[in-house]
Amino acid sequence: MVNLQNLLSLARLSWFGADEMKRLTGLFVAWLLAGFLTYPAVAGPGDEEGSTLQIAMKDGVVELSVSFDQLFDWESIKFVSIKTFPNDPPWFPPTRHELTFGHHEVGTVEWFQFDYIEIGNYEVTEDFTVEAKLFGRKKIIGVFDPGTNLLKFNGLDYEPMAKTPTFIVKTSTNLESWKKVSSLEEVDNEYKWGQSMAVRLKLKSAEQQFFMIQVDED
C-alpha cells in the first residue's frame, strides 16, 4: 500500500504568472479503491486553502470533483438569471438574461436580454457591490451575496458561471507510470462559480488506481 502522506504531498496547487488571480496551474491527485466510498485529497500545506479534489464511484463511473477555491472576480464571471423568459418563436427553448462586467472591454457592462444587448459602464464600489450605468437608464446597483452565491440585479437573481478551464486527467496504479485518460464524458463549457467542477469517466479496471487532474487556465 502506498504511504498516504506521500500521496497527499503530491496533491499540490501552484500559482504562476504576474497576476495570480488570472492564471492557474494546478495538480490535483486522489486515490480510489474500486467500489469503495469517497476519498478527498487536499491541496497540501502552504497552497491555496480549500482547493480540493474529491473522488467517488457509482455504477462503474468515476466522478472527480475539483474545487478551485477561486477569489471572486467580477471580470472573470458571467452571471445568468435563474428566471427564464419565453422565446420567439415560442416553441424554442426559454432564454435567460446574462450579465458580464469587463469581459470585452474594461469598465463596460453588457446585459443580454432575449434578443438584444444593453451596454453601459460600471464601477465596483465594494468587493461584492457594483454600480452599472446603462445608456438611457438610471444607475442600477448589483449586490453579490456569497452566502447564497447569487447576484441581485434589477430585481432578478443571477447565478455566477465560470469558464471550464483546459485540463487533462491521468491515471496510475503505482504513482510512477501515468497514462492520460481519453474516455472522459463530455464536460460542460461552464461550471457554477463557488462549486466544484465535475469530471466523469468509466472505470475499466478493478485495480487500485490513482487519478490526477492537471488544470491550466489563462
pLDDT tens figures, 107-139? 999 999 988 899 999 999 999 999 999 988 889
| Three cell numbers, residue 2 | 502506498
Verify that 213 and 168 share a domain, yes or no. yes
Rounded mean pLDDT, 186-202: 87
* pLDDT for the residue 213: 81
Return the higher-pLDDT residue of 89 and 77. Answer: 77
3-state secondary structure of 75: helix
What's the confidence (pLDDT) of residue 217? 57
Same domain for 86 and 146: yes
Say yes or no: 88 and 129 in one domain: yes
Q: Comparing 132 with 59, which gets the higher pLDDT?
A: 132
| Boundary-marking domain end, from 147, 162, 177 | 162
Say what the pLDDT of residue 119 is. 95
For the chain, how many structural domains are there in total?
A: 2
- On whether both 158 and 169 belong to a single domain, the answer is no
Q: Which is it for strands 129-134 and 139-145: parallel, antiparallel or unpaired? A: antiparallel
pLDDT band with cut points at 50, 70 and 90 for residue 98 = very high
Alpha carbons 101 and 73: distance in angstroms, whole number: 10
Q: Evaluate whether 79 touches 46 at the Cβ level (below 8 Å).
A: no
Instruction: Indicate if the pLDDT at residue 1 is higher than 70.
Output: no
SS3 (DSSP) at 77: coil
Q: How far is C-alpha 75 from the geometric centre of its chain's CA atoms?
A: 14
Q: How far apart are CA 141 and CA 158, in angstroms?
A: 13
Q: Where is average pLDDT lowest: 11-15, 87-91, 100-104, 154-158?
A: 11-15
Do 125 and 176 lie in one domain? The reply is: no
98 and 158 assigned to the same domain:
yes
Average pLDDT over residues 56-84: 86
Q: Cα separation of 36 and 26, whole Å?
A: 26
The residue whose grid cell reads 449586490 is 143
Same domain, 175 and 201: yes
Q: In terms of domains, do 196 and 88 share one? A: no
Give tens-digit pLDDT for 153-190: 999 999 999 988 888 888 888 878 888 888 888 888 99
CA distances (Å), 63 to each of 3, 32, 143, in order?
23, 11, 34
Q: What's this model's pTM, rounded to 2 decimal places?
A: 0.74
Range of the domain at 24: 4-69+164-217
Q: What is the pLDDT of residue 183?
A: 80
Among candidate residues 125, 145, 162, the one where a domain is terminated: 162
Whether residue 45 sits in one domain with residue 8: yes
Shared-domain flag, residues 152 and 169: no
